[in-house]
Amino acid sequence: MVGSTRSRKVDVRILASTNKDLLHLIKSGAFSRRPLFRLNVVTIDLPPLRKRGNDILLLAQHFARQFSETSGKPTPRFSEEALQVLKNYHWPGNVRELENVIQRLVVMTDGTLIEVPDLPSLMRFSALRGEGFNRTLAEVEAEYIRNVLASVEGNKTRAAEILGIDRKTLREKLKLDQTKE
């Protein structure tokens, strides 16, 4: 009871989380060791979303179903390319960021298929895809050009503007890319 002078026995569990290295903070004097050693019975290290591979895809589909149900829209499907971008994005906001992106996609997408151009631009351009650092500069450039083109729905004039090259140079680069396939 609030205000009571009698002690009562209670059985509680405290669940706490942090994204900080508490042992490092204790060593630097920024965190007291007493609360850590009193509360630290079981430690669960959960890797960031970007390191959880297919969990990203499972969560994306879960959130898509959830937000479709609440908005009264059909559950969208994701193209393989869009799933690859989701999987390879670095997710600085972890699961909350993924949840917000999927909610935005469900609400803002008219069709039932979510493709790369539907994804937020930051995500389209920052997600490493394919072989990562095992690719040549020409391969990375070709992929970047394809992504820019996809983001402007094939508009070569707009893509050339974004890339900072003239339309003729873009045409030549696309021709080179097609001969390599």
> What tens digit of pLDDT does each residue of 48-99 get?
888 888 999 999 999 999 999 999 999 999 999 899 889 888 888 899 999 9
Q: Are residues 20 and 77 in the same domain?
A: no
Amino acid letter, residue 27: K
Same domain? For 57 and 116 the reply is yes
Compute the distance between CA of residue 54 and CA of residue 51 in angstroms, rounded to an integer. 9
Does 28 share its domain with 97?
A: no
pLDDT at residue 157 in the model: 92
Angle (CA) 98-109-115 rounded to 5° is 70
Task: Look at residue 128 in the predicted model and tell me its pLDDT.
Answer: 47
* DSSP H stretches of helix in 28-130: 33-39, 54-71, 80-88, 94-108, 121-126
Question: 38 lies in a domain?
Answer: yes
Does residue 4 form part of some domain? no
Per the model's pLDDT, the better-predicted residue between 131 and 177 turns out to be 177
Task: Decide if 1 is inside a domain.
Answer: no
In this predicted structure, what is the pLDDT of residue 41? Answer: 86
Query: What Rg value do the Cα atoms of the chain yield, rounded?
Result: 24
Q: Is 50 exposed, middle or buried (0-12, 13-18, 19+ CB in 10 A)?
A: middle
Give the tens place of pLDDT for each residue, 87-146. 888 888 899 999 999 999 999 988 899 998 899 887 877 654 444 566 778 877 888 888
Same domain, 62 and 34: no
Residue 58: CATH number of its domain: 1.10.8.60
Instruction: Tell me how far CA of residue 65 lies from CA of 8, 38, 94, 99, 163, in angstroms.
Output: 45, 41, 19, 11, 36
Are 74 and 112 spatial neighbours (Cβ–Cβ below 8 Å)? yes
Same domain as 78, residue 30? no
pTM of the complete model beyond 0.75: no
Q: The domain containing residue 78 runs over which residues? A: 49-126
Residue 5: inside a domain, yes or no? no
118 and 84 part of one domain: yes
Beta bridge mates, 153: none
Q: Could you read off the pLDDT of 147-174 as tens digits, one per residue?
A: 788 878 889 998 899 889 999 999 988 8
The count of domains in the chain is: 3
Is 35 in the same domain as 58?
no
Residues 53 and 35 occupy one common structural domain: no
Both 41 and 55 in one domain: the answer is: no
pLDDT at 181: 56
